[in-house]
Chain A
Amino acid sequence: MKKYILSLIVVVALSSCLRLDDNLYNASKLTEYKLDNYTGEVDFTLDYSYHIPDSLVHVFTLSSQGADESSATTIYAIYIGDIAQIATDTVIMYCHGNKDHMDFYWQRAKLLANTKSKNRFGVLMIDYRGYGMSEGKPTENGLYADTDAALKWLQSKGLTNNRLVIYGFSMGSAPATKLSANNYTLKPSKLMLEAPFASAEVMVQDGSGLALPGTTVTDLQINNGEEIKGVQQPFSWIHGEADDFLNIDTHGAVVYNNYQGTYKESHRIPNAGHSTIPTTMGFQAYLNAVGNFITNH
């Protein structure tokens, strides 16, 4: 009997330091970016009318270093547009989701580059550390540091706060909201969130059905539901009513309702799932919603 109890104590004592956070990130690696030639899974593929000339597609690296880091991490970025025009253009900083890398999200970024008209707005997208060809290991602070590194690059090209729009999809809603609410290199003039999540605790509670504290399984501090209270800029929220991953009511609506800034608008899309808002709405309707928010508010 004693050896059973002793074994149990040893197992518990030795193993009580694990967390589930390491399982959070889907950081899949690439050896090159193929963009239009990418043949892996994507949410949708645009036809040629949305094509962007090669001369306006720039793949490059950035150096990202958080305030608490002793060395920099090299991450990859794609800018869609004329870099020389950043000093006068409006730019959409697109923070992609967790499912994959920039090849996967290329169609979404390219779609945004067609907002209002082709290349009316510049679009910048990065692969967070650990994703695609970016070096390093994904972390929550890394999301913020990497997005801020992108803002530094935009600032170096002449972008100012009033011409920066930040757009976060799914997990990308975390850096988009964080950098809108707090003082980083640039302060976006507008915030757009597509299918945002409220917090890890809501994920825990949705998954279990219980009012269980999120910290019982995760140290993840992302809390868009609270962070949004610090956002004063105009805010647009878009969410699929049939989202079976991040529930529109427990995630997106919480973020939307907690916003206390100057202007907000919501787009609840009937029959749209987590990844199908552009296709369910239709690409032009989606682009009109994005473009009208950017130009009218």
Chain B
Amino acid sequence: MLKKIALFICCISIFSCAPSHFIKPLEKKQHVANVSLGGPLIKFGTATIPIPFITATYGYGIDSTFTGFASVNITSALYGNLQMELGATKQLLKQKGYFPALSFNPVINFIYHDSKSYKLYPQLDINAFWEYGKRKNFVYVGVDNWFELSQKKAYDLKQQNHWFVSPMIGHSFVGKKWNFNIEAKVIAPNLSNEKLVVDYQTPFRNKGAFGIYLGYTRKF
């Protein structure tokens, strides 16, 4: 049917359009602002590129193990939507030697276009991270879990998929006033990516998508 429509549709792959937010809680009463860029890899012409999702996040350390945050998806805003994430990071376990620290992030994602077009998606991320070195850089792995609550979709067809699981791995470079983050995510590897208008590029052939994300955090 079309070529450009592939790009058109790619822009609505809203889930996993942002990297994991705060894997490690902020210090108590610490304010940060974060901007991240990246998304699932797609084929665009002859090139493979990440969908350029831009997300801006504000975070606040409520205490040393609990951080609250709010994000705005700038790319979605370009299309007249208010797409936000409200969530928190809670650290459950501290690192002990090779045993990683554990944290989890309950998040509410909502997208609002008008009174007839809005959706809410709960998300729960579970993370493990290892700090190392003098600056306390850290490596992390985790799993994003998105949940589709609707039972029906267009034309009252049954919504088949309700759980979108996305394993990820990343690294944070920690500075005094900034952090730089890079993350790779395998998005919904349990779901087929065939017979879709979106030409997702993934090492896993006909399953899911593969996302790459970069993030910059400024500390205040």
Contacts and interface: CB of A to CB of B under 8 A. Distances in A.
B146 to A, nearest CB: 8
B191 interface: yes
Interface size classification for chain A: 35 or more
B198 interface: yes
Nearest to A205: B153
Contacts of A171: 1-2
Interface string A197-219: 11101111111111111111110
Contacts of B220: 1
Given A19-B79, A213-B117, A203 B9 contact: yes
A12 B72 contact: yes
A213 B159 CA distance: 13
- B76, B80, B154, most chain A CB atoms within 10 A: B154
Contact of A215 (B14, B113, B194, B196): B113
B33 interface: yes
A8 interface: yes
Contacts of A225: 154-155
B74 A204 contact: no
Interface in B1-25: 1-5, 7-15
Interface residues of B, number: 53
Specify which of B9, B14, B31 lies most central, judged by the most chain A CB atoms within 10 Å of its CB: B9
B119 A207 contact: no
Contacts of A212: 12, 14, 111, 119
Contacts of A15: 74, 77-78
A195 interface: yes
Interface of A: 1, 4-5, 8, 11-12, 15-20, 23-26, 97-99, 170-171, 195, 197-199, 201-218, 225, 242-247, 250, 254, 258, 274
Given A199-B154, A209-B164, A216-B76, 8 more contacts: A5-B33, A5-B58, A23-B4, A97-B2, A171-B2, A203-B197, A209-B188, A245-B1
Interface of B: 1-5, 7-15, 31, 33, 56, 58, 72, 74, 76-81, 111, 113-114, 116-119, 121, 148, 150, 152-155, 157, 159, 161, 164, 188, 191, 194-198, 218, 220
